[in-house]
Chain A
Amino acid sequence: MVDFTLWDIVRNLLLAARWTVILSVIAFIGGGLAGLILLVLPLTGNRVAELAIGGYVQVFQGTPLLMQLFLLYFGIALFGVDTSAWTAACAALTLYSSAYLTEIWRGCVASIPRGQWEASSSLALSFGQQLGHVILPQALKVAVPPTVGFLVQVIKGTALASVIGFVELTKAGGMIANVTYQPMLVYGCVALIYFALCFPISLYAGSLERKLNVGRR
Chain B
Amino acid sequence: MSAAADPAPAPDTVLATPHTEVGAPIVRITALRKSYGDHEVLKGIDLDVMRGEVVAIIGKSGSGKSTLLRCINGLEVFQEGSLIVDGKPLLHDSALAMRELRQRVGMIFQSFNLFPHLTVGRNVMLAPRLVKKRNAAENEARARKLLERVGLAEKFDAMPDQLSGGQQQRVAIARALAMDPGVMLCDEITSALDPELVGEVLRVVESLAEEGMTLLMVTHEMNFARKVADRVIFMHQGRVHESGAPDAIFGAPQTPELKQFLSSLHD
Contacts and interface: CB of A to CB of B under 8 A. Distances in A.
Nearest to A114: B113
A134 B131 CA distance: 14
Given A118-B109, A123-B179, A138 B117 contact: yes
B30 interface: no
Given A115-B113, A116-B115, A129-B130, A122 B99 contact: no
Interface string B96-136: 00011011011101010111110000000011001100000
B111 A125 contact: no
A123 B126 contact: yes
A138 B160 CA distance: 14
Interface in A122-161: 122-127, 129, 133-134, 137-138, 141
A124 B109 contact: no
A192 to B, nearest CB: 40
Main secondary structure of the interface of A (DSSP, over half): helix
B175 interface: yes
B127 A137 contact: no
Interface size range of chain A in the complex: 20 to 34
Contacts of A137: 117
Contacts of A123: 102, 126-127, 131, 175-176, 179
Interface in B222-263: none
B95 interface: yes
Nearest to B128: A123
B95 A115 contact: no
Contact of A121 (B102, B114, B116, B126): B102
Contacts of A122: 73, 75, 102, 105-107, 176
Nearest to B127: A123
Contacts of A133: 126, 130
Main secondary structure of the interface of B (DSSP, over half): mixed
Contact of A125 (B74, B117, B130): B130
Interface in B34-74: 73-74
B161 interface: yes
A125 B131 contact: yes
A129 B102 CA distance: 15
A142 to B, nearest CB: 11
Nearest to B105: A122
A138 B116 contact: yes
Contact of B113 (A118, A124, A217): A118
- Most chain A beta carbons < 10 A, residue from B75, B102, B113, B114: B113
Interface string B161-178: 100000000001001100
A129 B133 CA distance: 13
Contacts of B102: 121-124
Contacts of A52: none
Contacts of B111: 113, 115
Contact of A134 (B74, B107, B115): B115
Contact of A124 (B116, B175, B179): B179
B115 A124 contact: no
A125 B127 contact: yes
Interface in A95-124: 113, 115-116, 118-124
Contacts of A113: 111, 113
Contacts of B116: 138, 216
B75 A124 contact: no
Given A123-B175, A126-B99, A118 B75 contact: yes
Given A121-B75, A124-B127, A115 B109 contact: yes
14 contacts: A113-B111, A115-B109, A115-B111, A118-B113, A122-B75, A123-B131, A123-B176, A124-B99, A124-B127, A125-B126, A126-B131, A129-B130, A129-B131, A133-B126
Given A120-B127, A134-B115, 17 more contacts: A115-B109, A118-B113, A119-B107, A119-B113, A119-B172, A121-B73, A121-B75, A122-B105, A123-B102, A123-B126, A124-B99, A125-B130, A126-B95, A127-B95, A129-B131, A138-B115, A138-B116
Interface of A: 113, 115-116, 118-127, 129, 133-134, 137-138, 141, 216-217
Interface of B: 73-75, 95, 99-100, 102-103, 105-107, 109, 111, 113-117, 126-127, 130-131, 161, 172, 175-176, 179
* The 10 nearest A-B residue pairs measured at CB: A119-B113, A123-B127, A115-B113, A124-B102, A122-B107, A124-B99, A124-B103, A124-B131, A129-B130, A137-B117
